[in-house]
Structures are given as C-alpha cells and as structure tokens.
Chain A
Amino acid sequence: MEPPFLACEGLRKSFGPTVALDDVSISVEGGSWIGLVGENGAGKSTLLKTLSGLVRPDDGHIRIAGASRQFTSIRDANSAGLFLWSQSSEHVPAMTLYENAFLGFHAKFAHGGRLDHKAMRKSAAPHIDRVLGSGISEKAKMSDIDYGQQQLFQLARILACINLLNVKQPILLIDEATAALDERQSSRLFSVLAEVHAAGATIVYVSHRLREIIGTAEHVVVMRDARVVGTVTGAEATESLLHSMMVGRERLSNYYLDSDRLARSDLGDAVLEATGISGGPQASSVSDVQLTVHAGEIVGVAGVEGSGKESLARLLSGADRVTQGEIRIPKSAALGRRASPRSALRMGIGRLPVDRLGESLISTQTTEFNITLVPRRQVAKRLRNRGWLQLRRTEQRRIVATLIEQMSVVPPDPARPVESLSGGNQQKVALAKWALADPDVLVAVDPTQGIDVGARQQCYRFFRDLCQRGKGLILVSNDLPELIGLANRVIVMRDGRVVGEVSCDSPTGASEEALVRMMVA
C-alpha cells in the first residue's frame, strides 16, 4: 500500500504543566479532505501549528510524502507545500493586498535589489479576485478591508503562494476559518476550497461547526484531551456521534435549554427601550433602530458582517455615542449623549464583547482579578468596608471561589493568569465577571465564538438564569441555530437598519433560511 501523504507519529507537546498533544498520530492520504474536531483545548490548533512548524513538538515526527520533516518556520513549511490558515491571522495593515499575499517571498520578485511590483500585482490579482471577488482591488491597503475579508484573504494568499512556488500537491491546514466570516464569505470559502481540492490539494479542516465537517470531509478525526480518540468516515459521521466522541457522551437533547425559555406571557415590563437610535463609527453604521427588551426576554440580533449589529451592541452599552434617538432604562434615566461604558453600567447595561483578550479580560491578570473587575454596588459594598478601601480579601476570595465552581472554570485556580486558560475557560471567567456585575440588561456579542461544547452549555445556562431572574439579554450572534435556539425573537439588521423580525416562540416559527433571506436580500 502506498504510504500516507501526510502523517505524524507520537507527537507530544506540553506547555508547562498543560499537556496539549499526547501521543498524537494521524495519517492523511494525498488529495483527501479530513475534518478535525474536538472541544476547545483538545489540541486541534496545537496539532496544526506543530505540523506547520510554528510549534516544536517535544517528541514524535512528521512525514510528508514519505520524508521526515520538521519545519522551523511557516515560510519553510510553505516552501514544502504546506499552508496554514490560522485563527489569528497576521497581516501588515499598511501594505497592499498584493504585497501581503507574497509576504515572506518578496525576494522572488526582486531584480537586482529592486522589487518588481508590477509582476507581484499581476501574479496576485487573479487569486485575490477569485477569493474576495472582483469588487476589491489588489492595490487596496490591508487596513482598508474589513475583518472578515482580512480573514478570507488568507485563502487568497495561500492560492497565490501555491502558484508562485509551483506546488503540485499542496496541503492546506484550515483552522476555524468560518469563525469570523459571515454567511456569504463562508460559502465563498467553501466553493474555492472545493475547487482547490478537486485540483488535487489535501485539506485538513478544523471547525467547531460540525455541519461544516459533515458532508464535506471524507474522514473525520476526533480529538479529546490532547489525544486522538477516533476516526470515522464521512458517511458514518453524524452530529450526535461526533458530539458523543468529543465530549465522551451524547449531546443533550435540550441543548439550548429550550424548556427554560420564558413564554411571551411570562415576560415582564420593558427593561430597555431604544427609540430611533443612530450612531456608530460611520454615519450609517446604525440608523433609526427601535428596540425594546422585556424582563426575562432574549432578543437575538442577526445580520451579515457590516450590517451594523456589532455597532448596535456598542451603542447600547455606551461604548460608542448615540447621535440620534434615546436609550432608556425605564427604572432609571436615559443614557445621555455623553454616554460611556461606565454610565451604561451604572444604569445596569453590560456588554460581553466577542474579543475576549482584547476587550473582555485583562490577559496578564488572574482569574480572581478579572472576575472582580466590575462588581455591582451591592457586591462592592460587601467587598469594601470603607468606600475606596478594599480590604475584605477573604470575602472576595469566597465569592470568587463560588463563581469559579458555578462556571466550572478549569483549572479552578483563582491565581492563574487568564492568558494561560483555553478560550472556553476564558469565556467562563468573563461570564463569572458579569455574573458578579449582575446587569439588568446584558448585550452579548458572539458569546460562543470558538468555544467548546462544555463552555457553550455554561454560557447558555448563565443566559437562561439571567432571564429567570427577570433580566434582559440582547444576543448578537453569527450562529443562527444558536439565535433561534435561545432567543424569544430575532431582529435582522442590514445596512444599519432593522429589516425584519422573526419570532422563535413556537418551534416552527423561525428557520435559518428565513433569517438568511432577510440578512442578504
């Protein structure tokens, strides 16, 4: 039998006390499409990084086309035909797209020290066109295209480099590609990937979204706790089978805790009213949005990238200023024109941003520090016996320990810096922070992006609990099943305006198709 095209044997890697890869062996045939799934922290990303030379394994080896390889840099890997789509792509914002496309390979366009920009542009343009569409010029600056497009650009770069380096049998390692993409961009990604695959490329595709794996992957490799726990063929793979392998048990039928959703008649009075609000970074980011949230209600907000749903979240939480209209909390006052996150918080509006280490948590600080970052006044009083003095450490420790247990943060160590936690556990810390802050209205933006099933469950339980206690939740999300599963109703935004609303109270009320139609129409 022909040896596998890409294989690794006995890969091990630890980061301090944390084992990220524990005796991992996989083998991939040339030209196949492999799905790789597992909870957060299962080791998927580390595996891809190890294969592409970004992480050096402690033990084990990697073979490509029979030859043992250990890449020392991503450039090295690229030259050998192996390309990584990374979750945290890094581009040079001030450079043009075509310059970014060949970053690391500019020397190939040098003639006696002079860079042949024309050749570079010509060489990159068809690939940028193919992936991003002809609307975007290869001469545009990286910083001028939006975040989703920057992510999608990674594929254009990969294609351009495959072409430049004349790779016959490329290997594409794709890590959580659709996390930051909207529906349109995702389908673009898949159609291009399918073409590349048809032309002979080997693809290893990592995703939390099982439906992206099922139906496309020829084999699915499942990882759990730093090990490969099994492989199933594409035909065998079902969502519930993969779930049970990933978490070691069947997926709950009551995944979104639907039974806890409050019926319309059980909702309380309005807890937040936005009347015709406009604002945001551009004039039309959000225009004339009406929104009322009732006690116990979850209002979903759907929309493609750039539809204004993130801007709306920022406006509602005081991060950006409202230029027109008014945001009111019936039991206190209106959020003024000079709003700040602080004044919003004082009124009882909190925001759980999507960017965990950028906006939500202080990465170098401990779990305890982060949880107690926004204590609500009543809690603050318990923590501080004299106004600005904060001396009640034992009390603080007790509260934090309870929250860590409630949210099942792993490891349950309050003194650990949050940057050393996995994404899912970071999000649990962020949830604990808001549990302590206890806002009347929480605006959550993509709260489950890139986190595992366990952390998702924690997240959903927290949201349901908020509602049971008469709070309101605004859930801005790209994950449509989640929106439909959690929300009482979903409003759809397009070009800064609310273009529709779908009720999710009855099981047949809302469908993803209906939402998508409104989102892109």
Chain B
Amino acid sequence: MSDAASQVNPHDGACDYCHLPVTAASETDGPLYCCYGCRLAAEITGRGGAEGEARWTLVRLGIAIFLSINVMMFTMALWTQELYDARAVGSGPLAASLADLFRYLCLLLSLPVLWLLGGPLLNGALATRQRDVAAADLLIVVGVAAAYLYSAISVVRGAGHVYFEVGCAVLVMVTIGRWLEATGKLRTTSALDALEKLLPERVRTIDALGQPRDTALGDIAPGDRLRVLAGERIATDGRVEWGRASVSEQLLTGESRPVTKRPGDEVLGGGLNLDGELVVCVSAAAGAGSLARLIELVRTARLTKGRYQRLADRVSGWFLRGVLVVACGTFLFHFWQSGVDTALMAALAVLLIACPCALGLATPMAVWTALGNAARHGVLFRHGEALERLANVRAVRFDKTGTLTTGEPCVENFALADAAERDQVAHRAIRLAGASTHIFSHAIVRHLEPSTAIGNRQDVSDMKAAAGQGIAARFDNESGESRLGSLRWLQSSAMRISPELARTVALARQGGRSLSAIGWGGRVRGVFAFSETLRSEATQALAQCRALGCDAAVLTGDEVARGRLLAEQLGVTVVAGLMPDAKVAALANARRSIGPVAMVGDGVNDAPALAASDVGIALGCGADLSRESALVCLISDDLARVPWAIELARRSVRVIRQNLFWAFGYNALGIALAASGWLNPAWAAAAMVASSLLVVANSLRLQGDARNSLNEPAASADQGEPFAEKVSDAELGEHLLPLGAP
C-alpha cells in the first residue's frame, strides 16, 4: 500500500445524507453534510430533522420555481415587444406602459426568488466543507445579486436591460442541480446500504430472568443473549446456547450450502437463520460483528484517495484561482468593449460554467460506485488505489493449493494387496474413516461409499484415534486392531507390506501424492493415494484472464512431473518446484518481462507472494477479513471473481478517465465560450447541471455488470438487484423446497 493511499484523516466523517466520506470534518453537534445539495436533499426528504423544516424547504423551492416561471413569461412578453419594436410594428403608449408594468412585475416576482434560493445557497456555501464548491457557490450568489442590482436600477431608471430571468433561472438551476447531484451520490452508496440494511435495527434479547425484551441493535454487548427466529438475520457474532437451525453464511463465507448450527457452534453476525430457533450468546458488540466489519472495511476503503483523485485535487487547487482571474478579465474586457451589463453577464457565465462540481465528482463517484458494486459481489478492495492498480495488471499468477484446487483431497488410487478382499477392506475403511473428521477420512468415505455394497455389518469396538497418525478399532472381537492411517504408523505395529503395494507406494510418492493405508492381522491390506481436486471454474477463470489480455500462469511448490500434468489439465504455464522465496523471485521476473503482476492465493501459506505482487488477491476471506497481505479480498472461493474484478477495475478506470476528460474538456470549452460573451448565464447554469449529472450517470454505469460480462451465474442473475435481496430469497427459497423436489 502506498503512503498516499493509506492516508486517512482521523477527523474525516461521513455525510449524513449520502454516507460518502467528508474530508477534514470538524467537530459539530448537528448533522454533517458534504455539500449544499445533500443538506437540501436531507431537508426535503425530512432526514435532516424536523418535518416542518422539510416542508418549508420544499415549499420554498416550489414557490421559487412558480415565481421564476412567472418572471420568465413576463420577460418573454418584453422580448416579444422588443421584437415588434425592432420591426417598427407600432409602439403606442399602451405598449410602453405595459412594458414598464412587466418590468416592475419581474422585479417584484424575482426578489423573493433571491431570498428563497439565494439565501440558503449562500448559507450552504458558508457551511460546506468542500472549499472549492463553496467558493464557487459564493461567487455565483454574488454574481446573481449583481445582476439583480443592475436590473433593479434599470427598472427604476426606466431604461436599460433587465436580467431578472437570468438570475431566477441560475438560482433554480443551481439549486435543482445540487439536489440531483446529492440524489446521484446517494445511489452510489446504495449497494453498501443494502448490505447494512440486512442487520435488524431491533433485536430480541433475553434478560437475566429469562424474560424476552426488545432491544436496539446498538445496545447489545458481549454476554447478552439473543433470540433469533427462522427467517431472521443474526445481528452479531456469537455462540449458540440453545436450539438448532440451518444457517446460511453465504454473505460472509461464500459457502452456498446452509450450515447446521447446534449449541456450542459459532455463528457470524449477518448469517441468516433459515428454519429453526436459536438462542445466541453474543461475543462481539453490534459494530464488531462479521458483517459490520465487512461494511466498515469498504467504508475505510472509500476514504483513501487514488492517483486520479489526487490529480483532480491538485488541479482543483489552482482551478478556482484561474477561473477567478478569467472572470475578472472577462468582466474588464466586456466592460471596456460593451458596457457593464454585458460584462456582468459574461463574468457570471464564466463562474457558472467553471463550477468545479464535475471535476470534483469525476473520480470519487466512479470509485465509490465500483467499490460498492464489488462489495455486493463479494469482492473487497482495500482502497480505491487497489482498483486502479488491478486495472493496470498485465499478468496474473495463481497459487495452486487451496486456490486452483479446493484444498479438499480426493482418492486418486485405491490399491489392494489382494483384490479378493476388496469389499472387506472397503467396508472396514468406511467404518474407520466415518469415525474421523480428518480431510483424508472424508475423501475415503466419499470415494468408497458409492461402490461398496453394505453387507453384514461387523461389530466394532475399542474405536480410538491416535493424534496425527490415524484411527484404530477392533472388528468382530478380533484379537488384533484394524488401523487406518499413515503407513509408518501401520508399519510401527509390525504390519508388513506386500511388494506390489510397496511399488504402488513408491510411485505415488514420486508423484508427490499423500498416502493412507489400512491393515490388520499383521498385513497392510490396502493403500489410498490422494490428489487435490481442481476447482470446477479454475480452467474457465484462467481462460478469462487470458481473454482479458493478462498472462496467466500457476506457481506451485509441487514436483515438476506433477506440474507438467497440471499444465496439461489447465492449459497454462505451470512453474513447479518453487519454494516461497522462489515464488517471490518468479513474480519479480514476470513484472520485469510483462508488467504489473497480480498474485491470487488463499492468503495463508502464500502471504509473502501476495505481498510481493503489485496486487495481492486472496480467496475465501469471508471468515478473516484482516488478511493484510492482500489488496483485494474475495469473500468466497469463487475463482471467476478474479477476472470479474479485473474487468470491473478496468471499466472503473475507463469511467474515471472519461469523467476527467469530460470535466476538463467541458470546462475548457465552456470557459472559452463564456468569456467571449456568447453564453447566456442561464444556459451556463443548465450546462453546469447537465455536466454534473453526466458525470454521476456515467459513474453509476459501474453499478451494473459489463455488457460482455463473464459468464458466471451469480453475476448475471442479480444484475441490478441488491445483493441482499438475492441472498435472502435464494437461501430461503432453496431451503423451503420439499426434500426430493426437482
């Protein structure tokens, strides 16, 4: 992580309306807003506090628009008359009186607009923490007030142009624009809000006397007992005290199958109770549960600034000063050339068109939307710069064990000393393995059960496990033990191995396979050789990375022969026989010869390689979000998320560049037009609103999936739908199907 990217101001907070970060917030008692638009939107929607205030804000805007329409109509009547005057189509005394009346009516109707909209804009500018936008708003209000003053003097003198309609249009446009901007910003946080809303606001607790109580989520503390009914989310992390239920933790672990929770089992905050009733003893306060931490991680990620945002910030610094100079120059030039009113209009147009809103929104809007969308799809970026870095990646290196493979072994070869004993050996192996929780035991049961006929069940006694070695038991009161475990353990109890089996064992060891053996009566009866299972999506994910123009390869510590086999299976380069430090060297080589490298691993045994790459991507982070070595964490083990994340990162950077290009280009062209006096301030205000909305709308495109989205069911099925809804419906729906239903 770069220094700049890790700079988070401890005084920073989040806007109370759009929930986006507010930089350099000072201590305030009241609600905190990032801009005037958010303050206005919060007031209108009644989020800001009193209902009366909300109504007044809306009425204020409504009346201002109504009055502005009136001003516009009277102004058009004046223009109509000027048109007829120019054509010398009669100019009687009634026409002159009517014109005077219309000008006074314009003055009368537009003054309240200045008070209704200009006042709050001025207050908002003084209260906002975005210094650039505040200064621009301030200048706009001053410009509009100057236009009013000039027009008022013209009305009283009975000569000269009036520009009330310009003032009204500018105030209405700027106000509505700010409101729409705030609404757009709110949408960029909708993905994260959907996650946050999953947690209930109130929970059922059980007090010391065993009485049920209704408690606010924020009030629960470690040690409290929660009652969670079917269909409800578990509010925070804890341990089951009573009850039994299937719980879906897909949101947090990526595991789509529900897990049965019994007393003593850990549950994660955000898990969905599908069917039973649970009493959970809380182990983490409300804000420290798994889902709360996940949300917090994304929030923190948004606070850090990437390269493009730092560029925009630097430009914004001198931009306003430059605009002020241009506006002053424009005023002086037109004042000298044409007069004060033309000069005033041109300078106001410059100030309006050069409002730094679009420039300020260009990068954060895109980054925030992309981070939210990624979180919705179970991909967590540590910060915005990680997004930019991932977009630049030209090579992707995958770790093998636990990344391309499931980490769950499967039986590749089951060799017998005597083929005639197959059923008996298999039967005993299933009985012994069934009593063990070791991953090899699971693999043996999975492999043998479908092919083994259940004959007469033998009596089993004296079952005992030897830690790290295997499991032993007596069958049918035999005098000797039957053992399933490591070959060395079997041989240590004087079991002999036949030459055929010994050859099988030697071959398997050469191929880097793990082994288990079963034996009794002084002989090893069978040997299991295990291999790792490739994830079903591994081949496709590698192919998709290549389709994105990334050089994909696998780095593994396996034997070279095994590596060659893997290369054939996956169709990519496999660099085998690498120790951890050699993996780091291989990454450095790839960086030199190809470009920035992303390393995909499980973040446990390959942490050095993840840290040494340009972007470390860790799989299966759901249960452990604190894997610092990875800049990108995938909640699930789904490898398809890797190309998806690269695609999203590239689209985000494309959108950022488009936004910045538009903001710079629009300002350059607009300022030139306005300074030349060809742009009416009313049109400049409309253009300013349109420009900001364009940037917001362009950024919001990142909420959806790419048009050529990688073919993954999860991403395509939930297009545009909040993750939250999808998860709960799917989970509940699947669960409620009767057993055996098609």
Chain A partners chain B: no
